[in-house]
Amino acid sequence: MRDPLSFDLFTLSSGLRVFHQPRDLPWFAANMIVHAGSVDDPVGKEGLSHLLEHQVNSGTHGMPWTNFGEFQEWADARGFDFDHGSTGSHATKFGGRAWSRDAEAYFGFLEAYLRRPILDGMLDHDRRIIRAERIDRDPPLRRKRFEEAVRLALFGNRRQATATGLPCDDVLFSLTQEDVRLAHERHYACPNMTLVVVGGIDTTVLRTILEKTFVPDRPFRPRTPSRLPFDIDPPAQREIISKKDDGSPTTSVRVTHIWAMRPTGAESVLLRNCLARTLNDRVRELERLAYHVSVDVSRNCDSETFYVNTDVAPEKVDRARKAIEEVFSDVAAVLRHLPRQRKSIALAIARTDMNVAHVVTEASESIEGEGWLIPLHELAAQFIAVGDDSVIRLLKRLTPSRALVTIYET
């Protein structure tokens, strides 16, 4: 049986990378990844990548502007399913599906949509849509200020501290049409894009279609420089406390330990699972301080963030913090779970069953976050090969003295 994340990889003469997985289907799914997101916005122009994502829908050379409903009718008439795009911190993605017989027409549309938009209208309309998105998604003011303080404490003067796709009105409405054009010229070049295709197209046929569709830029534009992993110093501010301000009594407190660091590998997932078992044994079962302790890892191509969260009663905050921090110094207790976790994760990977949508999503997220794609059988082998020493080294980096501790009352 074919590995769900085994792909053929080729690069077009234009510099566009293509990951292709042929399947016996009458249709295909495709996701174009533009390697530019909110961390690439210039300082003072936050939200520019998000605005550009909206603006490429303003019409293309050879296809006049249409409103959202008219575009949907146009796409439906051709059997195209297209999602208009989504902007993240490090990439902007445009997904869709079409019948295999219409592959040439679909990729011709996608090329014009992304590389040849008119970018000459509806700017204020798109800014107001983004403003509405921000208002809809904005957390309460106390939570928003708390999250901003956490990012600033972790990342300092790095772009990750202030980058946002949903900026305040002053910044959003200062973005101009020229800003949008310059961002498009800088980022929407073939060497700065990756295409993932899964479905009923022969690799040779696909390559032929794409070579004549995504022709080289003139003049050739190189890929935006890769984001290199960076080391992150321990936060100067070691604790952030957000108290309730509505006069009601505090019934629960979320205690979070956070470490930001250079990306690691399989050892961070293994350590996450081992810590979750050890922390719950100690904090939940032994000391009865909380119902649950969660451990999470968030990884991008340039950094990784490790979180330990638990919700406790106000009078148990100090005891919970002490118990959590003692676990991180108990190497033997954590390593006790490692052999079983190696096997458990490898077994879960081996039993992974993915449909086409899942494969496209997983492949795209891996390419966006890691910069490459690892087949599942290789990924399972990586977990089995992780040695005790690698996990111990990572655990010793996650000391209480390097953590940012946040206390949030609810």
| All structural domains of the chain | 8-213 (3.30.830.10), 239-409 (3.30.830.10)
Residues 6+ apart with CB under 8 A from 320: 255, 283, 289, 290, 310, 312
CB-based contacts of 236, cutoff 8 Å, min separation 6: 153, 156
CA 302/CA 306 separation, integer angstroms: 14
Q: Which residue has the tokens 């990548």?
A: 49
Which of these, 271, 233, 309, lies nearest to 393 by C-alpha position? 271
What Cα–Cα distance (Å) separates residue 156 from each residue in 88, 148, 159, 264?
20, 11, 8, 21
Residues near 356 by Cβ (< 8 Å), separated by ≥ 6? 23, 25, 29, 198, 199
The answer to whether residues 30 and 205 touch, using CB atoms and an 8 Å cutoff, is no
Distances in whole angstroms, Cα of residue 168 to Cα of each of 43, 174, 249, 311, 359: 13, 10, 32, 31, 36
Candidates 307, 304, 322, 255; CA nearest to 276 is 307
Burial class of residue 152, CB neighbours in 10 A (0-12, 13-18, 19+): middle
Closest of 84, 50, 53, 58 to residue 167, by C-alpha: 50
Distance CA 45, CA 145 (A): 20
pTM higher than 0.75: yes
> What tokens were used for 103?
């592959």
Nearest to 158 by CA among 52, 235, 265, 268: 235
CB 161 within 8 A of CB 236: no
Tell me the residue type at 229.
P
Phi, psi of 27 (to 5 degrees): -145, 170
Query: Helix, strand, or coil here: 303?
Result: coil
What is the model's pLDDT at position 234? 86
> pLDDT per position in the chain (410 positions), as tens?
678 899 999 999 999 999 999 999 999 999 999 999 999 999 999 999 999 999 998 777 666 666 777 888 888 999 999 988 999 999 999 999 999 999 999 999 999 999 999 887 789 999 999 999 999 998 999 999 999 999 999 999 888 899 999 999 999 999 999 999 999 999 999 999 999 999 999 999 999 999 999 999 876 666 666 666 777 888 988 999 999 988 899 999 999 999 999 888 899 999 999 999 999 999 999 999 999 999 999 988 888 999 999 999 999 999 999 999 999 999 999 999 999 999 999 999 988 888 999 999 999 998 887 778 889 989 999 999 999 999 999 999 999 889 999 999 99
Give CA–CA dist 147/261, Å, rounded. 18
Q: Which residues contact 124 (CB under 8 A, 6 or more apart)?
A: none
